[in-house]
């Protein structure tokens, strides 16, 4: 199993603090040694970093922890391989362009029968069930006869429900503006906004006073497989819950019935 | 105008030495301050780094210069913007998945009328003429009624000729195995193989003795807008020349007539 991290913010925000926790779980305090990735959106541009080394040992991850790269949306992933060997092509997040936007996707879980998902326009590069699911989802979106935000939202609901029925499916998906987060079994989130306080990471002795780094209008939502800090109120998402975030704001939320 | 760098090797090879030269030209000894990118293929996996800062100042570029990341194919770019503002979405190389392979592209030059190139399956994310040309080229490849290496080779010839007639078009394109290099106006290349010697960068006091880093079977081709070293034999490519490289070996070469 892997771990996920995401951010949706209304102002360019660095994810160093949260990434520091994820990084430790990537091979030091957690077993997710099989590579890591971090995608950072600035407007429509995407910086996407991948390494097949453990995040805790990767020089690229070390840089990302210490460099204040600002983004409006971030998606991070540390991998503990179950389907597909450990290599770069199997490292999340996966990216595809659709309609002139980069779509960035990361998955936690495993799916049975992902190889039988219908082939569409987008084709996996690696051999993971995750990338197969992503390509299937994106191919379905591309095949929609009519396009609007509501269509897309309903198609993502359908896809999440379908994929969740195939095993364990927690995912994060973004085009740099919208962030879709689905909890098939386990995900947590919180929103940081004024009045800002202090927080300490659970996995190491690292603290931050958000007041020093924010303005009163800032709003930042963070999602993670497991809570990252000990002195903030993390919400456990209900299995089946799909959220649509934009600029740190929850736009829509629905709880989909899951097959038992 | 921008500068290009590429590598095709028959063994995983780091590009630190050549990238050190490109990096200096990215804002220190050269005017290409408007971002940089470097794509590194390992088998079908791709690490692709982008920054909208000058390569000479970017912390990401600093890491890439000092971290021996091995790759079989590399494509690098430093940007001096002419079409499209300076931002992440406009930073080369551009990447699209086609047929389950990542295709990575960088361009040097400028094109008149790129906005009128027919829209196909792939759509630009940013606003550069370069990405428009790349999406057009990839859409043409995707639309080929039959697929084989020879078809693809001829379609790339057609596309290069067509794009070169629209302005200045030097490009590098790879799927991680094949590397296509087109010289519309200026490109240089060399092949490093046994007996390996020493080389010094033209732009700074940095030397390398390749004998210390290679085996007798290694073969590495390097392409660059301008020669990078002073004690090696760089070949100037003829305008109109399209090369197809694989594992450091020139597979095919053709000189296409260019419109005057």
CB contact under 8 A, B88 and A125: no
Active-site hit among A2, A160, A183, A241: A2
| Closest by Cβ to A87, choosing from B45, B91, B126 | B45
CA distance B20 to B228: 9
Q: Read off the pLDDT of each residue in A98-115 and give the average, rounded to a whole number.
A: 96
Domain ranges of chain B: 3-255
Residues of A in contact with B123 (CB under 8 A): 97-100
Distance from CA of A95 to the nearest CA of B (A): 9
Query: Residue A218's pLDDT is what?
Result: 97
Are B46 and B39 contacting, i.e. CB atoms less than 8 angstroms apart? yes
Residues of A in contact with B44 (CB under 8 A): 89, 125-126
CB contact under 8 A, A101 and B125: yes
CA distance B50 to B90: 10
Residues of B in contact with A51 (CB under 8 A): 47
Query: Residue B205's pLDDT is what?
Result: 87
Interface of B with A in 82-101 (CB under 8 A): 87-91, 95-101
Residues of A in contact with B125 (CB under 8 A): 44-45, 97, 100-102
Residue B186: pLDDT band (50, 70, 90) is: very high
CATH class of the B3-255 domain in this structure: alpha beta
Distance separating the N- and C-terminal Cα atoms of chain A? 20
Percent of the residues in chain B that have a pLDDT greater than 90, as a whole number = 88
CA distance B53 to B220: 29
- A156 pLDDT exceeds 80? yes
Distance from CA of A254 to the nearest CA of B (A): 30
Q: Closest-CA residue in chain A for B87?
A: A45
Q: Read off the pLDDT of each residue in A154-171 and give the average, rounded to a whole number.
A: 98
Query: Residue B204's pLDDT is what?
Result: 86
Q: Give Cα separations from B226 to B3, B5, B111, B229, B237 (angstroms).
A: 8, 9, 21, 9, 11
Q: Closest-CA residue in chain B for A175?
A: B125
Q: Read off the pLDDT of each residue in A239-253 and give the average, rounded to a whole number.
A: 98
Render pLDDT for A52-100 as a digit per residue (tens, 0 to 9): 999 999 999 999 999 999 999 999 999 888 888 999 999 999 999 999 9
Residues of A in contact with B43 (CB under 8 A): 87-89
Q: Closest-CA residue in chain A for B37?
A: A47
CA distance A85 to A79: 11
Buried residues in A9-33 as b, exposed as e (16+ CB within 10 A): bbeebbbbbbbbbbbbbbbbebebb
- A232 pLDDT exceeds 90? yes
CA distance B125 to B114: 14
Distance from CA of B81 to the nearest CA of A (A): 16
Query: Residue B260's pLDDT is what?
Result: 60
Percent of the residues in chain B that have a pLDDT greater than 70, as a whole number = 100
Are B229 and B206 contacting, i.e. CB atoms less than 8 angstroms apart? no
CB contact under 8 A, B89 and A44: yes
Distance from CA of B247 to the nearest CA of A (A): 19
Q: Find where tokens 């003429």 sit.
A: B129
Distance from CA of B42 to the nearest CA of A (A): 7
Residues of B in contact with A90 (CB under 8 A): 45
CB contact under 8 A, B42 and A87: yes
Residues in chain B: 260
- Rounded mean pLDDT of chain A? 95
Q: Which residue from A83, A71, A74, A79 is spatially nearest to A114, judged by alpha carbons?
A: A83
Query: Which positions of B are annotated as active-site residues?
Result: 2
CB contact under 8 A, A125 and B97: yes
Are B140 and B161 contacting, i.e. CB atoms less than 8 angstroms apart? no
Q: Read off the pLDDT of each residue in B214-229 and give the average, rounded to a whole number.
A: 96
- A260 pLDDT exceeds 80? no
Query: Residue A64's pLDDT is what?
Result: 95
Q: Find where tokens 């690098």 sit.
A: B76
Render pLDDT for A116-155 as a digit per residue (tens, 0 to 9): 999 899 999 999 999 999 999 999 999 999 899 999 999 9
- Catalytic site residue A241? no
Percent of the residues in chain A that have a pLDDT greater than 70, as a whole number = 100
Q: Read off the pLDDT of each residue in B80-98 and give the average, rounded to a whole number.
A: 93
CB contact under 8 A, A97 and B123: yes
> HEC profile for chain B?
CCEEEEEEEEEEEECHHHHHHHHHHECCCCECCCCEEEEEEECCEEEEEEECCCCCCCHHHHHHHHCCCEEEEEEEEECCCCCCCCCHHHCCCEEEEECCEEEEEEEECCECCHHHCCCCCCCCCCCCHHHHHHHHHHHHHHCCCCCCHHHHHHHHHHHHHHHHCCECCEEEEECCCEEEEEECCCCEEEEEECCCCEEEECCCCCEEEHHHCCCCCCEEEEEECCCCECCCCCEECCCCEEEEEECCEEEEEEECCCCC
**ipTM of this complex prediction, to 2 decimal places:** 0.94
Q: Does A123 touch chain B (CB under 8 A)?
A: yes
| Closest by Cβ to B59, choosing from A48, A67, A126 | A67
CB contact under 8 A, B44 and A91: no
CB contact under 8 A, B52 and A45: yes
Which residues, 6+ apart, have CB-to-CB distance to B105 below 8 Å?
B75, B92, B93, B94, B95, B130, B134, B137, B138, B171, B172, B173
Q: Find where tokens 């002795």 sit.
A: A205
- B254 pLDDT exceeds 70? yes
Cis, bond preceding A247 (omega within 30 deg of 0): no
Distance from CA of A228 to the nearest CA of B (A): 26
- Rounded mean pLDDT of chain B? 95
> HEC profile for B119-171?
CCCCCCCCCCHHHHHHHHHHHHHHCCCCCCHHHHHHHHHHHHHHHHCCECCEE
Residue A239: pLDDT band (50, 70, 90) is: very high
Q: Does B118 touch chain A (CB under 8 A)?
A: no
Lowest mean pLDDT among A199-203, A251-255, B49-53, B246-250: A199-203
């Amino acid at each position: 199993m892997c771990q996920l991290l995401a951010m949706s913010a209304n102002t360019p925000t660095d994810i160093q603090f949260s990434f520091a926790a994820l990084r430790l779980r990537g091979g030091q305090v957690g077993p997710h040694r099989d590579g890591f990735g971090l995608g950072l959106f600035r407007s429509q541009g995407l910086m996407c970093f991948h390494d097949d080394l453990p995040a805790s040992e990767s020089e690229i991850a070390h840089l990302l922890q210490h460099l204040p790269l600002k983004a409006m949306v971030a998606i991070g992933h540390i991998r503990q391989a179950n389907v597909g060997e450990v290599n770069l092509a199997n490292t999340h997040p996966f990216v595809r362009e659709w309609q002139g936007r980069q779509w960035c996707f990361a998955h936690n879980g495993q799916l049975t029968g992902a190889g039988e998902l219908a082939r569409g326009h987008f084709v996996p590069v690696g051999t993971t069930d995750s990338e197969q699911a992503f390509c299937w989802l994106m191919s379905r979106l591309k095949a929609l006869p009519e396009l609007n935000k509501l269509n897309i939202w309903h198609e993502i609901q359908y896809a999440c429900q379908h994929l969740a029925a195939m095993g364990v499916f927690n995912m994060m998906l973004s085009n740099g503006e919208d962030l879709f987060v689905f909890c098939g079994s386990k995900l947590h989130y919180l929103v940081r906004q004024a009045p800002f306080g202090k927080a300490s990471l659970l996995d190491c002795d690292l603290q931050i006073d958000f007041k020093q780094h924010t303005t009163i209008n800032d709003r930042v939502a963070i999602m993670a497989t497991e809570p990252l800090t000990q002195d903030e109120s993390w919400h456990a998402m209900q299995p089946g819950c799909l959220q649509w975030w934009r600029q740190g704001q929850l736009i829509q939320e629905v709880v989909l019935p899951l097959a038992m």
